[in-house]
Amino acid sequence: MASEKRQKAIDLSHHLSDVSRARETSPLKGLSKFLGKPGLIVLAGGMPSEAYFPFSGISGDALVADSFALKPMEQESSLSWFWKLFSGANKEKTHTITIPKFVEHPAEEVNLAVALQYGTATGLPQLQKFMKDFVDKVYQPAYDDCTIMVHTGNTDGWSRCMQTLMNPGEKFLTEEWTYPSALASSKPYGIYPVPVALDKDGMSSAALRNVLAGWDATTQGKRPHVMYTVPVGQNPVGSTMGAARKKEIYEICVEYDVVIVEDDPYFFLQEGEYVPKASRPESVDTVSEESWLAGLAPSFLKFDYQGRVIRLDTFSKYIAPGSRLGWHTCNPMFAERLERQAETSAQAPCGFGQSLVTKLLYHWKLEGYTRWLHGIATQYTARRDWFIDCLAEELDLKATTSTDVSFWKDCVVYDAYAKPSGGWMMSEKGSVGTKLLSFVPPSAGMFIWLKIHFDNLPAYKRQGEGEESPEIQLWTKIAEAGVLISPGWFFAADVENPPTDELEGHFRISFSNADFATLKKAAQIIARETNKFFKA
């Protein structure tokens, strides 16, 4: 795939915003034609002397690439760091990587004299090369000149895309439930989302076509020409868009000339189907890294024969959020505009972070990094399973194939009923047997999305205490009981008209961070408080 030429006849420059068009073509103006000449003495920029950088070298103790098993053992995973730290049980295997200030071959070896100096907004060349090889291997873009541009994380990545592609007053397509920060970025500029309904595969292609085909420019303004989507581990609902749906969506975007911004932080956290604990096999065969990668839902890049996808990748979920490091993959024309934009904001990402991450990746190599990602995916899968298992202990879970007309149609939905007996629940009478909540186990990502059946509340409670919705009331009770989760209304693309009603609340719960024992305690508290809330 990757060797095919992009359809060069497709001119996408009309998608650029006025602000983006107004940027200069190069900040270096006439200087660039001389740069790189051997022996050139450059006294043009305000570069401090490298002799005055106060670090003569930095280093990091990096975990080995296979630190996390591909067959997770819950017991091991549930050890808290605290216990590990003070019991001496920490048997992490590490390798020390070092980045000296000066090296003999600065063009090849990562060094602080370059990484900590001013550089181009495209980032360290070695990092760019690694990411290019990674993108080619893993995402297999459909054209041969796709370009890598570093950014400081996907929130920044989307902000830059938004400002590069849209003018104030324009609207963009997105899932009906979506990442709130993406909206917080655009709203101040008067750029608003147009919600598209979700189904079990993510954004519905039928709904997308309806929105675009039925668009009335006279009453609705300019038809959206940009899509913001989180296709894998959709935030918040946790669905994963497979190849077939992506092709459908892509073709509709070709037809209606839409640029797709693919925000894909959870790509490597594809966790597959949830199998209840009782039915889960005790041991699973591990697969090779190649098979694992081949089994993942593909990126939109794979179908992007016109270069209309800007993909956002981040190291936040795989190295650390504090790396503030990620990258755009897109056509060279968009990449150049994004580079100019970077030059007047954060410029290149931090050189300490870039050099440590780059050196780590070169130490691990492509194979090692893939192994690391596979290990992390396994960990999060175990976390998802564990948290749902915990809920199953507290509530009576029944799996059904939903006939619901909502986005859970044809999904395996778990309905949770107040348990008739057992543990602390014994004393909590009144709600036993009530359907409290339902969820579809996420197939990727960090979150479980619960639907709460407030229509089953006793009538006097449905009307709400004071002016708060039942969702906020229960959310507050759970928080007061010691567990802070996210209320569903945060995630509505259109907060004024959320894709739900007062008697159908939602919560998004993250299973990504707390240790296993804490997740168990949280599941208990959530179940207990929900049960109490539903009591007459």
Site for its own copies in 461-480 (CB under 8 A): 472, 479-480
Does 69 sit near its own copies (CB under 8 A)?
A: no
Does 54 contact its own copies by CB under 8 A? yes
Q: Which of 1, 2, 12, 58 binds its own copies (CB under 8 A)?
A: 58
The string over 331-355, giving b where at least 16 C-beta atoms fall within 10 Å of a residue's C-beta and e elsewhere, is: beebbbbbbbbbbeebebbbbebbb
> Closest CB to its own copies among 379 and 402?
379
Minimum CB distance to its own copies, residue 365 (Å): 14
Binding-site member from 353, 441, 442, 499 for its own copies (CB under 8 A): 353
Q: Identify residues 10-29 at the interface with its own copies (CB under 8 A).
A: 19-20, 22-24, 27, 29
Q: Which helix (H) or strand (E) holds 487?
A: strand 486-487
Q: Pick from 3, 25, 51, 291: which binds its own copies (CB under 8 A)?
A: 51
Nearer to its own copies by Cβ, of 292 and 303: the residue is: 292
Please, what is the minimum distance in Å from the beta carbon of residue 136 to its own copies? 23
Task: Give the pairing of strands 447-453 and 435-439.
Answer: antiparallel
Q: End-to-end CA distance of the chain: give it in Å, rounded.
A: 61
Where does this chain touch its own copies (CB under 8 A) — which range of 47-55, 253-261, 286-294, 423-431? 47-55
What string marks each residue from 299 to 318 as x (binds its own copies by CB under 8 A) or -?
A: -----------------xxx
Contact letters for its own copies, residues 378-407 (x by CB under 8 A): -x---x------------------------
Residues 6+ apart with CB under 8 A from 67: 92, 93, 372, 375
Pairing, β 147-151 against β 412-418: unpaired
Piece of 6-14, 292-300, 319-327, 528-536 that binds its own copies (CB under 8 A): 319-327
Q: Does 510 bind its own copies (CB under 8 A)?
A: yes
Edge to edge, the sheet with strand 504-510 lists 395-401, 412-418, 435-439, 447-453, 504-510, 486-487
**For 120, left (φ over 0), alpha (ψ -120 to 50), or beta?**
beta
Work out which of 110, 112, 148, 338 binds its own copies, going by CB under 8 A: 112
Contact range with its own copies by CB under 8 A, out of 54-62, 134-142, 305-313, 409-417? 54-62
CB of 407 or CB of 511, closer to its own copies? 511
Residue 298: how many other CB atoms lie within 10 Å: 19
What's the closest the beta carbon of residue 11 comes to its own copies, in angstroms? 21
Residue 231 near residue 242, CB atoms below 8 Å: no
Complex with its own copies: residue 162 or 252, whichever CB lies closer: 162
**Helix pair 243-255, 205-213: axis angle to 10 deg:** 10
> In whole angstroms, what is the distance from residue 163 CA to residue 18 CA?
9
